[in-house]
Every structure is written in structure tokens, then in C-alpha cells.
Structure 1
Amino acid sequence: MGMCLSCLGGAGEDGVVTPDPETRRRQLAEAAEKRQKETAYRGVKNPEGVERKRKKQEEIEKTEMTTSGSGGGGGLKWQVG
């Protein structure tokens, strides 16, 4: 049946038009990012909360590294006596 569409004049133009390569590449990249986010947060009710927690934890670790690296002592104190 697809063979007779070409003889109807203009019916062949209704087919799917593929976008230019740059647009297609961008769409594929967006789809891949969306799939990764969905996979990463599968089963999580509040993905924004998880992201905030992760960033807060990274900040805490970063401040601990800078504090301990500058002679802060690592939080342990020696007591004699």
C-alpha cells in the first residue's frame, strides 16, 4: 500500500522530515541527560532534596579538608594530666 502513495502527488511530502544534524545531536543529548536523571533518581520521592543533601555533604567535606589541611589539628585534642 505504501507503493501507491507516491503516485497520489504530494502525499509523499507528508512523511517524517528529519532535522538537520546539529538539531538532532542536541535532541539526542537532551534525551540522554533526561534518561540519566530518571535512572539516578529511580525510587526517590524527592530528587531535589537528595540533590540538596548531596551538595551540603560535599560542602561539609570541603570545609573539613581545608580546616584540617591548614593545621587545624583534625579536631582531636591531647590532654595531659
Structure 2
Amino acid sequence: MGQCLPCMGGAVKDVVETPDPEVKRRQLAEAAEKRQMEASSRGIKNVYSVEQKKKKQEEMEKRMAAERPGGEGGLRWQVG
């Protein structure tokens, strides 16, 4: 029927303050970015080289799309 409670004077020191929602949101976003970076570079020895190759490939695709007559498909249809 009785309750065992610690002395209230010492309990105040043990209370963990929850961070501000904005601070917590920022920390979670930073942690997610860190996990994503680690996952994307897992198994890759030279991350810089892979990024350069990816950028080069994207530039090539843009140039190819710009050179194609008629836009995306490259095929022309004539009716008549």
C-alpha cells in the first residue's frame, strides 16, 4: 500500500530533459544523411572517382539529348 519513492531532492538531478523538437528534427536529419552517405559508399574504395564518373555520364546523356533531333525519342513520324 505504501510506495517507495526516492528523495525528491536527488530526483531532480536524474531527470533527462528532452531536446527542443526543432533540435531533435535537425539531429535526426543529420543522422539520416550520415547513414545514407555510409550506405552509398559501402564497398567503394575510391568514392571521389565514382562521383566523377557519374557526373561525366550525366553530362554525356545531356549532350546526347541536346543533339537528338525531335527531342527525347529521336524518331519522326510523318502522316500523309
Q: TM-score w.r.t. structure 2 length?
A: 0.67
What is the aligned partner in structure 2 of residue 78 from structure 1?
none
What is the aligned partner in structure 2 of residue 41 from structure 1?
41
What is the aligned partner in structure 2 of residue 59 from structure 1?
59
Does residue 29 of structure 2 align to residue 29 of structure 1? yes
1:65 Cα deviation (Å)? 0.9
In the alignment, structure 2 segments of 5+ residues that lack a partner are: 75-80
Task: Give me the whole-angstrom Cα distance separating, in 2, the residues matched to 1:56 and 1:15.
Answer: 54
CA RMSD of aligned residues (A): 2.5
SS state at 2:18 partner: coil
Q: Aligned pairs, how many?
A: 68
Percent of aligned pairs with the same residue? Answer: 58
Q: TM-score w.r.t. structure 1 length?
A: 0.66
Question: Relative to total residues, which structure has the larger helix share, 1 or 2?
Answer: 1
Q: Using a 3 Å threshold, how does the CA distance of structure 1 residues 35 and 8 change in structure 2: closer, same or farther?
A: same
In the alignment, structure 1 segments of 5+ residues that lack a partner are: 75-81
